[in-house]
């Protein structure tokens, strides 16, 4: 005899003992618990239990109804005899975190619409925290992870929220490696355009970027070529215009103290990035190194170009160098450039940075790093300055 599939749904005012009383009533019957969901909003309870029942369903229905009446709640019992329903594989689920400061109703609606348009189904929504960042966790199934990540990148920008995507499973609790796009932790002008301004070719550099849209490798090389013959001192000028966003150094320091390997990737200039990270306990840095000779820039890039697609390769290289599976990595970026990080990382985070991804503007601080700290499970009150000792990897040429 095939087991019956039973769904018990209890609703009503929440009170101590509801869950224990329901399961006490179920315990008298030959049932297997397949799934449980319980949500309390204010004082309203919704409790759902999926069961496999071996035996007559009538006594179970009576017992559950009696227990609900004693508790002053309502109950609905749905019974089917479809064995395929019980044998069906549990769909692959992903945890989607939506974070806002504040979190607007329109933003939640926009993200839900994006998930629905992708063919996804939201199984549950739970509020994780309210201050200083409001965070909702959505459990989603039915969407291939690459499509989910790419769709939510656009949704995050449209809704003005931060979004993190992570596959469900035990490994989501064990993160060991953090890679940050420098765009989210550093405030300053777009590096190649700013350097080109110093030699009177800034507009050419911007046109190349605008034509490509995502700064592919060939465009990065072409923009570097505009700098040929420029004195290396223009790098010092750019260094003086770049600064850490408030809280960035504390974020990196807190991650290092929590045991994470920490690294930065940027489509900018390595010589400028190295100046910024000097003294931070970083394990990895990927950027475009401009070749120099006789005190001048040659217009060429040394080594691998970090452009569109380069962030994902940097993450894979970083993880491999420390023997860390990508499922145990966290990668954070902004805009469309974060899509490849979402696809590869165990936990991918798209931040709604207040400034455009590539802009010469230097706006005020953004609160987006609070959201990233929350996603990483780091304390909000960690000190600003991280430990300043250099790591073995960087000292050995990890840059």
Q: Do domains 93-168 and 177-395 have the same CATH topology?
A: no
User: Would you state the pLDDT for residue 250?
Assistant: 82
**What global pTM score does this model have?**
0.68
In CATH, the number for domain 177-395 is 3.40.50.1000
For the chain, which residues score pLDDT lower than 50?
A: 83, 86-87, 89, 170, 354-367, 380, 382-399
Q: Which residue, 68, 66, 29, 70, is CA-closest to 51? A: 29
Fold of 93-168: Alpha-Beta Plaits (3.30.70)
Domain ranges of the chain: 4-87, 93-168, 177-395
DSSP E strand stretches across the chain? 4-13, 31-41, 44-53, 74-80, 93-100, 121-129, 134-141, 162-167, 177-181, 186-187, 243-244, 261-269, 284-293, 296-302, 329-334, 347-351
Architecture of domain 4-87: 2-Layer Sandwich (3.30)
Residue 183 annotated in active site:
yes
Which of 162, 181, 283, 352 is the catalytic position?
181
Q: Which residue, 109, 93, 84, is CA-closest to 37? A: 93
User: Would you state the pLDDT for residue 121?
Assistant: 92
User: Would you state the pLDDT for residue 24?
Assistant: 94
Which of 183, 197, 283, 352 is the catalytic position?
183
């Amino acid at each position: 005899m095939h087991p019956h599939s039973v769904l018990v749904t209890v609703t009503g005012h929440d009170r101590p003992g509801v869950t224990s009383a329901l399961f006490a009533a179920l315990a008298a019957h030959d049932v297997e618990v397949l799934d449980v969901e319980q949500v309390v909003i204010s004082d309203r309870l919704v409790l759902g239990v999926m069961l496999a029942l071996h035996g007559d369903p009538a006594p179970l229905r009576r017992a559950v109804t009696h227990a609900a009446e004693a508790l002053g709640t309502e109950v609905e019992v749905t019974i089917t005899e479809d064995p395929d329903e019980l044998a069906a594989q549990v769909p692959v689920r992903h945890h989607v975190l939506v974070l806002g400061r504040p979190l607007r109703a329109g933003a939640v609606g926009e993200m839900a619409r994006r998930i629905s348009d992708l063919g996804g189904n939201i199984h549950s929504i739970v509020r994780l925290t309210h201050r200083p960042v409001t965070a909702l966790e959505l459990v989603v199934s039915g969407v291939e992870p690459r499509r989910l990540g790419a769709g939510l990148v656009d949704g995050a920008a449209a809704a003005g929220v931060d979004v993190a995507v992570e596959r469900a499973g035990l490994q989501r609790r064990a993160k060991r490696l953090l890679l940050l796009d420098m765009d989210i932790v550093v405030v300053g002008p777009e590096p190649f355009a700013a350097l080109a301004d110093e030699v009177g070719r800034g507009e050419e550099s911007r046109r190349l970027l605008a034509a490509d849209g995502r700064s592919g490798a060939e465009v990065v090389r072409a923009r570097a070529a505009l700098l040929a013959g420029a004195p290396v001192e223009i790098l010092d000028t750019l260094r003086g215009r770049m600064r850490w966003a408030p809280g960035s150094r504390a974020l990196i320091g807190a991650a290092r103290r929590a045991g994470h390997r920490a690294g930065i990737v940027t489509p900018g200039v390595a010589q400028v990035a190295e100046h910024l990270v000097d003294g931070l306990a970083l394990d990895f840095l990927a950027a475009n190194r401009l070749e120099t000779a006789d005190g001048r820039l040659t217009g060429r890039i040394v080594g691998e170009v970090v452009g569109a697609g380069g962030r994902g390769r940097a993450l894979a290289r970083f993880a491999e160098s420390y023997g860390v599976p990508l499922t145990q990595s966290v990668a954070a970026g902004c805009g469309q450039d974060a899509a490849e990080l979402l696809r590869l990382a165990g936990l991918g985070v798209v931040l709604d940075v207040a400034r455009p991804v590539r802009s010469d503007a230097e706006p005020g601080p953004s609160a987006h790093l609070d959201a990233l700290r929350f996603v990483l499970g780091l304390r909000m009150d960690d000190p600003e300055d991280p430990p300043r000792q250099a790591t073995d990897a960087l000292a050995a040429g990890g840059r």
